Amino acid sequence: MCVPVGATATVAAAIAPHLAHGAVVSDVGSVKQAVLSALSTALPAHAHIVPAHPVAGTEKSGPDAGFASLFAGRWCILTPPADADPDAVARLRALWEALGARVDVMDARHHDLVLAVTSHVPHLIAYTIVGTASDLETVTKSEVIAYSAGGFRDFTRIAASDPTMWRDVFLNNGEAVLEILQRFSEDLTALQRAIRWKDGQALYDLFSRTRDIRRSIIDAAQDTAAPDFGREHR
Amino acid sequence: MCVPVGATATVAAAIAPHLAHGAVVSDVGSVKQAVLSALSTALPAHAHIVPAHPVAGTEKSGPDAGFASLFAGRWCILTPPADADPDAVARLRALWEALGARVDVMDARHHDLVLAVTSHVPHLIAYTIVGTASDLETVTKSEVIAYSAGGFRDFTRIAASDPTMWRDVFLNNGEAVLEILQRFSEDLTALQRAIRWKDGQALYDLFSRTRDIRRSIIDAAQDTAAPDFGREHR
């Protein structure tokens, strides 16, 4: 099932009567507890439910947004229920590995927390700052666009993602997103204070620490899929 | 002068005695009011001060981070003082245009506000979320790295920028940065509330509105410098 998370229950109810005995049902949604719950409710007991989340993609949506190396080297997270059939999980793992992905298995609840950090909150922040910029009275929209190369444009790419998909992510992973947002807000407030009081050392220390994470991501080859490769060479 | 903004006064004082009569002195710093003030204080009256800010570059610093098309199609903002010599401004404009840049002229104060929106605050937000992620007890650093393709990695690229350069930006453009941050925090709080109360329409409306800005940036060719071109085709 490749649908916005909010459509899971409806689609599952529609396909439920037509599933072969022992069919493996999976999805590609960005939230997993809500999907697991919706599928468990709607599908017959003879179906094997193995939710999945390939952590890959661009700001574009739909079949035309695919390309051959989309999943190469990327991680796909499976979140089977505790009593899942091992064979069904193995079959789904084989499918994703055949597409070039690396496969990890974790609890749906932990998945939702990890993705709140690495995907959901970054998207929310990007949407927010792009909205803030477009609402300013003192800076024109054409100025924002012209000078976006200073960093802003990276946020606009994320903030161009599909509105329905992302609305559903936040409606279905609110708890984890709000927890991470609270921490982010505390950390941002500390930096605001450092700027106000001209505490250069506090700024320098954070700015140095964050570089290490970037290096680790490059080392882990999570920023070097073929069509994306040029970015490191700008 | 290509130095961190905080080093401007020291470097200006060092070169001041050696400047030819009528020399044009410029810089490439990301903050302009503080630079204009530092140069005006340190340099002799016979020098022409024309501060500049090429809005281009990557997270990398230093001479080795340059490439031939770095400034092609990018904007360079000149912020000459009100009494600047028109010929000096014209000479600097010609230099940047010869490098392939488009040139704009604006007041230093307005520059600092525009760049707070399009560059400084986005960098601060990126540094913050990367720091927040690395401090979590419930999500491991290796999980953050593995699943960074969900959006987080775009923030880590920005957050890998030079710590000294960015410390100096925030120490020298605090007023504008704090003003924009305040608005951002208000907007983020509104979204937190929408998530908590499951107000899907409010989320959908913002997420739709921000797409338009992305399209305008692509139309304005501020996301299509040659080494970066692959990003639109992921």
Check whether A62 has a pLDDT greater than 50.
yes
Decide which of A12 and A228 is more confident: A12
Q: Rounded to whole angstroms, how far apart are CA atoms A165 and A7?
A: 10
Give yes or no for B88 touching A (CB within 8 A).
no
Which residue is associated with the tokens 């700024």? Answer: A203
pLDDT digits (tens, 9 = 90+) for B150-169: 889 888 888 999 999 999 99
Check whether A223 has a pLDDT greater than 80.
no
In angstroms, what is the C-alpha Rg of chain B?
A: 20
Check whether A228 has a pLDDT greater than 80.
no
Q: Which of residues 5 through 64 in chain B touch A, CB cutoff 8 A? A: 6, 30, 55-59
CA distances from A180 to A82, A117, A234, B138 (A): 26, 7, 32, 11
For residue B224, the model assigns a pLDDT of 52
Could you tell me if A52 and A31 are in contact, meaning their C-beta atoms sit under 8 angstroms apart?
no
- Are B150 and A207 within 8 A, CB to CB? no
For residue B225, the model assigns a pLDDT of 43
Could you tell me if A74 and A99 are in contact, meaning their C-beta atoms sit under 8 angstroms apart?
no
For residue A217, the model assigns a pLDDT of 85
| Structural domains of chain A in order of their starting residue, each with its CATH number | 5-107 (3.40.50.720), 110-224 (1.10.3660.10)
Could you tell me if B118 and B133 are in contact, meaning their C-beta atoms sit under 8 angstroms apart?
no
Q: pLDDT-derived band of residue A63, with 50, 70 and 90 as boundaries?
A: confident
Report the complex ipTM: 0.89
Tell me the shortest Cα–Cα distance from B1 to chain A, in angstroms: 19
Q: Which residues of A touch B114 (CB under 8 A)?
A: 139, 143-144, 147
Give yes or no for B231 touching A (CB within 8 A).
yes
Could you tell me if A69 and A100 are in contact, meaning their C-beta atoms sit under 8 angstroms apart?
yes
For residue A149, the model assigns a pLDDT of 85
Tell me the shortest Cα–Cα distance from A201 to chain B, in angstroms: 8
Q: Rounded to whole angstroms, how far apart are CA atoms A108 and B152?
A: 20
Check whether A229 has a pLDDT greater than 80.
no
Give yes or no for A172 touching B (CB within 8 A).
no
Q: pLDDT-derived band of residue A2, with 50, 70 and 90 as boundaries?
A: very high
pTM, to two decimals: 0.90
For residue A224, the model assigns a pLDDT of 52
For residue A233, the model assigns a pLDDT of 34
Residue of A nearest to B171 (CA): A198
Decide which of B48 and A234 is more confident: B48
The CA dihedral of A169, A173, A179, A181, to the nearest 10 degrees, is: 10
- Helix/strand/coil percentages in chain B, nearest 5: 60, 5, 30
Give yes or no for A113 touching B (CB within 8 A).
yes
Check whether A97 has a pLDDT greater than 50.
yes
B169, two tokens: 């930006």
Element (H, E) at A66: none
Ramachandran region of residue A198, left (φ > 0), alpha (ψ -120 to 50) or beta? left
Phi and psi at B54, nearest 5°, equal -75, 120
Could you read off the pLDDT tens digit of each residue along chain B, which spans 234 residues? 999 999 999 999 999 999 999 999 999 999 999 999 999 999 999 999 999 999 998 888 888 999 999 999 999 999 999 999 999 999 999 999 999 999 999 999 999 999 999 999 999 999 999 999 999 989 998 999 989 888 898 888 889 999 999 999 999 999 999 999 999 999 999 999 999 999 999 999 999 999 888 888 888 877 654 344 333 333
Give yes or no for B207 touching A (CB within 8 A).
yes
- Helix/strand/coil percentages in chain A, nearest 5: 60, 5, 30
Q: Which residues of A touch B113 (CB under 8 A)?
A: 138-139
